[in-house]
Amino acid sequence: MYEQENQGGEVNDVDYIKKALIKTIDGYAHFTLNDQAIASLDIVPKLKPDGLPDTSSMSLSRSSTTIFSVLNKCRTQPGQRLLAFWLQNPLMSKKHIDERQDIVEYFMSNSEIRATCYDDYLRKIPDLLRIACRIARERCSIRDLVKIYHASKSASTLFTTFNHISSTSDQEAPKAVVDLFKWMNQSSYHLKDFEKLLEDSLMLDKLDENNDYLLRPQANDDIAKITEELNSLVRRARDEMVTVANDVGVEPDKGVKLEIDATKGFDMRVTRQNEQLVRNNSEYIQASQIKKDGYRFTTRVLSRLSDKYVGTKAEYASIAKDVYHDIISRAVMYDDQVLELCMSYTVLDVFVALAVAADTNNYARPLILDSEAGKIEMERLRHPCVENQPDIENYVPNDIMLSKYDKKFFIVTGPNMGGKSTYIKSIAAAVIMALCGSSIPAEDGKISIIDHVYTRIGAGDRQAEGISTFMEEMLEMQNILAKATENSLVIIDELGRGTSTFDGFGLAWAITKHLASQIKCYGVFATHFHELTEMENEIPSVGNLHVKAYCQDDKLSLLYNVDRGVCDESYGINVARYTKFPQHVIEMATEKLKQFEEVPGFESKKELKNFVQDCVRELLTKN
């Protein structure tokens, strides 16, 4: 399933890792988010080439405000890579999404198996994907092989634990969950010969003075002979240490200790407190400079034993090098099986992480519908990143109902800072999370399969390429108009601000009309062009939403509720006052606003607004 091709050259780490991640969606219908959507919706932080978050260049605010960071409860580095990859590649298959959500829901509701996986097994797993890559490149170490050995043993044990917990639980595990644990166990089974190779060759529970795994004497006749000689030297060195301890009147292994080094041999150490017991005795020779941890010394007998030990140890290392190389050469033949084990752990890690995040943040499982159902509905929806900010105490949730049988495209108006951007981004974020198999930050949801998420959010230029802010907007919208379909979700946060008001409004109207009436995609458009709200009267699938605000005595209160209908005011000056603009600037702006509103022939601002809207409606409907 996860075999890696190595034709025409050496395996590249990054390519190897990417291929392994891609295999997790191989054969699954999916779409890949473009860079604009990933950045504007804060899907994942900047990633290193191997797929891990680039924490070195990540600002604190950026690292804590991505969907990845909210969901990333992964215990392993391969799990983090796979979670980021899945978030960038939502699925389009109801069957496969349901399978993922079955697994997440099972781990959410079964705290015992979730805690067992999360705390007892996954937290001990190293970066198996990197190790698998080194094995494929035949550049692994004995330590790498031992890590795979323990991971394989743990996979088998975890499968047994899962079966025991399942047999005593009232909740029957879904087929997808059973298959996941069977996959892990099968991966471990395929490594039984690998495990036997290491068990027959290494003392897996014993390390030498350099923390290297010792070879079993029976693995090689020369190793057996040298091992016996080394053990004999160590016994004789210990005998000498006991003799010295008795001579100076301290307890062996406490008052005086034998220290062994592969390159320096033997010496003894007493504490600084007992230093004078040996320091002035001609039988004892200072071995090194005095250090904080004690006084090191040797004897003539121990010195001769030490020289023999160093020579014998060098001979052992020379022979062991060939034996280690032989073990590695035989072990790398299991590279495909090792990768299979790695990916079974990785997938499990992501599912457990999604369950932990869902349980922590009170997410709900959405109902996934076929694309023909034509609806995106969520009740009491929250933005996953915003609600987790430390300064947010009472997040105000809102509903969204997009339907091809009613309103499929909404225009959202309201004051700046009122929550329009957060609201429209939360819709896209929840849809992407759902299609990845995650639960969503809402009380309930019904989400039809879509084929892409497109965004036009934020204002920026590309000076090095000679592209202005307005040109950037137009290029992004051109891409959306060319690629969006009736099953796409389009999120627009302001449009046409980089040119004159009339040009901007004309483009916004034409683009909105094309998206709603020609492409017929799901859409949410936050705008300050209040005249766009008239489109509801022209196109049945277009509706209006507004963010509520309350203003009394020039004091603005932002309510963050989203409701049907149009916002009557822009509240621009009120927002400026809310952000503590200098008073003289506020007064000047207020006076200028009054001058613009005093139009001859109209008794009130409302009368003028109605006249303008009638004119716009008449002109545009003719076209």
Q: Are residues 344 and 308 in the same domain?
A: no
Confidence check: pLDDT of 392 > 80:
yes
Q: What mean pLDDT comes out for the span 92-105?
A: 97
Q: Among 100-109, 270-279, 376-385, which stretch is predicted with the lowest mean pLDDT?
A: 270-279
pLDDT band, very low/low/confident/very high, at 462 (cuts 50, 70, 90) = low
Angle at 356 between CA 355 and CA 361, to 5 degrees: 100
Q: Are residues 32 and 176 in the same domain?
A: yes
Percent of the chain with pLDDT over 90: 63
Residue 210, domain member (yes or no): no
CA distance 236 to 53: 53
Q: What is the 3-state secondary structure (H, E, C) of 26-43?
A: CCCCECCCCHHHHHHCCC
pLDDT band, very low/low/confident/very high, at 353 (cuts 50, 70, 90) = very high
pLDDT band, very low/low/confident/very high, at 91 (cuts 50, 70, 90) = very high
Between 207 and 49, where is the model more confident?
49
CA distance 130 to 92: 30
Range of the domain at 613: 587-622
- Do 545 and 530 touch, CB atoms closer than 8 A? no
Q: Are residues 573 and 591 in the same domain?
A: no
Residue 4, domain member (yes or no): no
3-state secondary structure of 448: strand
Angle at 510 between CA 504 and CA 515, to 5 degrees: 125
Residue 400, domain member (yes or no): yes
Residue 3, domain member (yes or no): no
Domain closes at, from 322, 350, 380: 322
Q: Each residue of 331-344: pLDDT tens digit? A: 999 999 999 999 99
Q: Are residues 521 and 382 in the same domain?
A: yes
Confidence check: pLDDT of 63 > 80:
no
Residue 1, domain member (yes or no): no
Residue 421, domain member (yes or no): yes
Q: Each residue of 507-539: pLDDT tens digit? A: 889 999 999 999 999 999 999 888 899 999 999
Q: Each residue of 286-298: pLDDT tens digit? A: 887 667 778 899 9
Angle at 570 between CA 564 and CA 574, to 5 degrees: 125
Q: Are residues 477 and 564 in the same domain?
A: yes
**Residue 472 sits in a domain of what CATH number?**
3.40.50.300
Q: What mean pLDDT comes out for the span 165-170?
A: 90
pLDDT of residue 583: 75
Q: Are residues 29 and 128 in the same domain?
A: yes
pLDDT of residue 474: 84
pLDDT of residue 3: 42
Residue 71, domain member (yes or no): yes
Q: Are residues 355 and 297 in the same domain?
A: no
Q: Are residues 191 and 116 in the same domain?
A: yes
What is the pTM for the complete model shown? 0.86
Q: Each residue of 364-386: pLDDT tens digit? A: 999 999 999 999 999 999 999 99
- Do 266 and 309 touch, CB atoms closer than 8 A? yes
Q: What mean pLDDT comes out for the span 126-153?
A: 95
Q: Are residues 292 and 416 in the same domain?
A: no
Joined together, the tokens standing for residue 419 give 């929550």
Name the pairing type of β-strands 542-552 and 409-413: parallel
Domain closes at, from 297, 322, 347: 322
pLDDT of residue 7: 40
Q: What mean pLDDT comes out for the span 265-274?
A: 89
**Residue 20 sits in a domain of what CATH number?**
1.10.1420.10
Q: Are residues 460 and 333 in the same domain?
A: no
Residue 5, domain member (yes or no): no
pLDDT of residue 560: 85
Confidence check: pLDDT of 571 > 80:
no
Query: Mean pLDDT of all residues in the chain?
Result: 87
- Do 334 and 2 touch, CB atoms closer than 8 A? no
If one counts the domains in the chain, the total is 4
pLDDT band, very low/low/confident/very high, at 66 (cuts 50, 70, 90) = very high
Between 453 and 26, where is the model more confident?
453
pLDDT of residue 37: 95
Q: Are residues 427 and 487 in the same domain?
A: yes
Confidence check: pLDDT of 439 > 90:
yes
Q: Are residues 304 and 345 in the same domain?
A: no
pLDDT of residue 1: 41
